[in-house]
Amino acid sequence: MELIFPTIAGILSGVVAGLIPGIGITALMISVGLFFVADSPLVVLAYYIGLLCASQYVGSMLAISFGLPGESSSLPAVKEGYPLFQQGKGSLAIGTTAISSFFGSFISMALFFAILPVAEYLVYIWNTNMLVIIFSVAMLLTFYISDNKLWVSLIMTAIGVNLGMVGINMTIGTDYLTFDQWWLYSGLPMIPVLMGCFVLPELWKAQFEERAETKEIKFQLDIKDNLKHSRASWGVITVHSVVGFFCGLVPALTTKLASNLSYFLQKSKEVRYNNYTGPGNLKSLIAAETSNNAATFSVLLPLLFLGIPITTSEFILYDHIQDTTTGLNLEYILNNFDILLACFVATNVICLALAWPMANTCLAVYRLPARTMYLVTAFLVLFPIIYTGLLEEQLLFYVGTFILCSVIGMIFRRYDTMPIVFVFLISREFIEGFHRFYVINVL
Amino acid sequence: MKRILTMAIAMVAIATTTASAIELVIPAGNKGGIYTISKHLNAELAKIGVETNMDVQGSCPKGMAKFRSTDKPSIYIASSAKNSSHTFVKGCDFTEAAFEEQYVAPAFMAVMALCTPKKGVKFSDLKGQGWKTYTIGTDASRAWAAQANMEAAGLKVKTVNYKNSSAARAGMMAGDVDFFWSNAKEAPKVADAGGECILATSADDFNGVPGMKSVTGVDPIGGSNIYWVAARNMDAAQLKSIKAAVEQVVTSEATQEWAKSKWFLTINGKSAADLKAEAKDYVTVFTVDR
């Protein structure tokens, strides 16, 4: 019962994250997520599950209806769904996407139980050699899947590493760019860096560069037709649930890799069989969205079972969980796994209702006055910086870091700045991993 | 909303009690040994009429900066292990002069342990393979102790640093290193994962883990991580009073029970001068360049 409120709050936050580009789950996890740090990690986990699932369901609606990717994983939905909407098939695209996403989540869950007998071997992901390989592959994939040219991504990587390595690193014994100032010993605070380097440029892009023409959105519910098309794509849903499940385990890339890889694979197949006649291919859209939602389940597994956060928002979730009195441990997760599964199932049922029969209601949010939307957005960006700065008694440091990172973010506003924040977040782990690799294998 | 209201009420409560209470500066986040001890002291001191305000600073450098800058009467739980390396200690160290000036009383001790990923490993078998260099996974603050103790016991070792004890334990279970060196309280978790702690740096067996001398024949070097209380901005009478209060709490029966459950050693039966000297060793002797 205690999880009903955080789950619903998570779903509502996810609706906001899905409907307002730039206010992604990372920003909401930083701000609203703070209020769900309680004695039990289940509370903040329930909030996160609601947030994660709802943002994926609702983000698809936004991408299909407005041609606006709420999340980077919604790019295929923009490429194939928005043309369907323009062809007058928006209701079909939204309906079948919601249904396939729903089944994708459940197939992913079933797949987890299928591999449970060998799950103990997942501990070998902790092996330093394995971690070095995973992080290296993730870095390379980030370069290739990001929308940037390679040289831009390399510059961003250098910036991310330098921001991430500020402070004293006790594990490898370095003291980097602290200028003997104690407030820099613990490194740059995460929230101002993420807000400045990532959220701000994304908002800028959404408001000034990629804003689609606003139009009246009307969704016609046709259950029979939507189910018929979903049934016809059963094979696509099954295959891409599997693809999504495994992509969800890839650190940092997760849903972004899942939707884009599935889209690429399905589109190649459609082209090969002469079924692809141009943008607006329903099966390619279904593949991407199914995969995306399948990944939302598997993405949680490394964190829950191995204590390894693999996305930006999970780093924050991990931080929040560590702030609870119980902390994150395997025994606790195993004892409460049935509750978490129930939470995941309930969330998906509610999200299906929101993204399908209630799609019209969700999209009505866009009838809010633009001025109110700006105020809400500004509040969601500034509040976590000021709140955490005050909490840490380092407001000036937090604001200063935000200003510095905002400058960096705005310089790169025309690019995908995800590599900066991704590298910032993993640079310590990455360099510590390489250092351990060197000590173990070379020294 | 409930959380916001709770926070608001707590802030009002703190504001109204600040005038008379002593600041209990916590140089750590809200987990780990220092936080656990601080929370216990806060509760137990309150029972004997000494009010303290817990001020969780999140990290050692931040905690020390707060402790050094505040003008309010303050106490601080110091961990001697924090002084174990020059890099680790930066920003949260005690110089010899500061130690002498601010040391109030010892609180608890924690011992370290050497653990293996499998059960049934005998130390004598390890010593028999003199050609081999063993790898020991540990968190950075205990690396010097792992190396010093195992070399004294006759093993060739190299230490591999991890972010914290949990990461080091996972690294051992994943096959990174031969051993894991940490707080002895990790022993049950190691056992759950199929491993075993084969020695503890205590004089005798500790909660079922054999003492180092009985296993290796060598006394542990700096084996006890001493948690001690430091104080600032107090006059002689206040210092005397807080020292007595801390001693009363840490030697009480309730605390003995509590310490046992948390794998801490208590100071009962040990000389205060010896404990102070041992804590001071970490400031003057055991601090090493890494």
What distance in Å separates the CA atoms of residue B180 and residue B195, rounded to the nearest whole number? 10
Alpha carbons within 13 angstroms on the beta-carbon side of residue A147 total 11
- Residue B58 one-letter amino acid: G
Handedness of CA A245, A248, A253, A259 (dihedral sign): positive
Size of interface A-B (CB pairs under 8 A): 92
Task: Judge whether B2-109+225-284 and B111-216 match in fold.
Answer: yes
Q: Is A440 helix (H, G, I), strand (E, B) or coil?
A: helix
The shortest CB-CB distance from A35 to any of B4, B175, B192 is to B4
φ, ψ at B81 (rounded to 5°): -65, -25
- Residue spans of the domains in chain B: they are 2-109+225-284, 111-216
φ, ψ at A357 (rounded to 5°): -65, -30
Q: What is the pLDDT of residue A128?
A: 87
Q: What is the pLDDT of residue B87?
A: 47
Name the token pair of A3: 């999880």
Q: Which residues of B touch A128 (CB under 8 A)?
A: 171, 174, 176
Cα distances (angstroms) measured from residue B227 to each of B82, B83, B146, B278: 10, 12, 19, 11
**Helix or strand holding residue A267 (H, E):** helix A254-272
- Closest residue of chain B to A124, computed from CA coordinates: B174
What is the CATH code for B2-109+225-284? Answer: 3.40.190.150
Question: Which of B7, B163, B186, B287 best tests the A interface by mutation, with the highest count of A CBs <10 A?
Answer: B163
User: How far B62 CA lies from chain A's nearest CA (Å)?
Assistant: 7
Chain B residues within 8 angstroms (CB to CB) of chain A = 3-4, 29-31, 58-59, 61-62, 64-66, 85, 87-88, 90-91, 135, 139-141, 158, 160-163, 166-167, 170-171, 173-177, 192, 290
Cα distances (angstroms) measured from residue A396 to each of A250, A276, A422: 36, 55, 25
Q: What is the mean pLDDT of chain A?
A: 83
Q: What is the pLDDT of residue A282?
A: 93
> Running DSSP on this structure, what letter comes out for residue B201?
S
CB contact under 8 A, A182 and B62: yes
Q: pLDDT digit string (tens) for A106-163?
A: 999 999 888 877 766 767 767 888 878 877 876 776 676 566 888 898 899 999 999 9
Q: Is A423 helix (H, G, I), strand (E, B) or coil?
A: helix
Closest CA to A292 of A137, A141, A71, A134: A71
- Closest residue of chain B to A38, computed from CA coordinates: B3
Contacts of A344 (CB under 8 A, 6+ apart): A49, A53, A105, A109, A297
Residue A373 scores a pLDDT above 70: no
Query: Is the CB of residue A69 less than 8 Å from the CB of residue A29?
Result: no
Q: Which residues of A touch B177 (CB under 8 A)?
A: 440
Q: pLDDT digit string (tens) for A167-199?
A: 888 888 888 998 888 888 889 988 889 888 887
Is the model's pTM score more than 0.80? no
User: Averaged over A405-418, what is the pLDDT?
Assistant: 89
CB contact under 8 A, A124 and B87: no
User: How far B57 CA lies from chain A's nearest CA (Å)?
Assistant: 7
Q: What is the largest CA-CA distance in chain A?
A: 68
Give the angle subtended at the CA of A236 by the CAs of A232 and A239, to the nearest 5°. 145
Question: Which of A126, A169, A320, A334 best tests the B interface by mutation, with the highest count of B CBs <10 A?
Answer: A126
Burial A175-203 (b: 16+ CB within 10 A, else e): beebeeebbbbbbbbbbbbbbbbbbbbbb
Torsion angle (degrees, nearest 10) of CA A249, A254, A255, A261: -90
Q: Which residues of A touch B158 (CB under 8 A)?
A: 439, 443
CB contact under 8 A, A182 and B64: yes
φ, ψ at B197 (rounded to 5°): -90, 125
φ, ψ at A392 (rounded to 5°): -90, 0
What distance in Å separates the CA atoms of residue A353 and residue A364, rounded to the nearest whole number? 15
Higher-confidence residue of A395 and B220: namely: A395
Beta bridge partners of B266: B108
The shortest CB-CB distance from B87 to any of A168, A183, A323 is to A168
Q: pLDDT digit string (tens) for A39-86?
A: 788 899 999 999 999 998 888 887 787 766 666 677 788 778 888 887
Q: What is the pLDDT of residue B215?
A: 87
Q: What is the pLDDT of residue B14?
A: 41
Query: Is the CB of residue B63 less than 8 Å from the CB of residue B57?
Result: yes
φ, ψ at A3 (rounded to 5°): -95, -5
pLDDT > 70: percent of chain A: 86
Name the token pair of A433: 């991993």
- Closest residue of chain B to A439, computed from CA coordinates: B160
Domain spanning B111-216: CATH superfamily: Periplasmic binding protein-like II (3.40.190.10)
Model confidence at A366, pLDDT cuts 50, 70, 90, reads low
CB contact under 8 A, A440 and B65: no
Closest CA to B180 of B120, B100, B82, B113: B113
**Helix or strand holding residue A150 (H, E):** helix A150-165
User: How far B27 CA lies from chain A's nearest CA (Å)?
Assistant: 12
What distance in Å separates the CA atoms of residue B103 and residue A400, rounded to the nearest whole number? 37
In A42-183, where do the E strands start and end? 167-169, 174-176
Chain A residues within 8 angstroms (CB to CB) of chain B = 35-36, 38, 123-128, 130, 168, 170-175, 182-183, 185-186, 306-307, 322-323, 325, 327, 331, 392-393, 432, 435-436, 439-440, 443
- Closest residue of chain B to A121, computed from CA coordinates: B174
- Closest residue of chain B to A173, computed from CA coordinates: B87
Residues of chain B with pLDDT under 70: 1-20, 30-31, 81-90, 222-224, 268-269, 284-290
Q: Which residues of B touch A175 (CB under 8 A)?
A: 87, 90
Q: What is the pLDDT of residue B19?
A: 46
Q: What is the pLDDT of residue A214?
A: 45
Query: Is the CB of residue A303 less than 8 Å from the CB of residue A317?
Result: yes
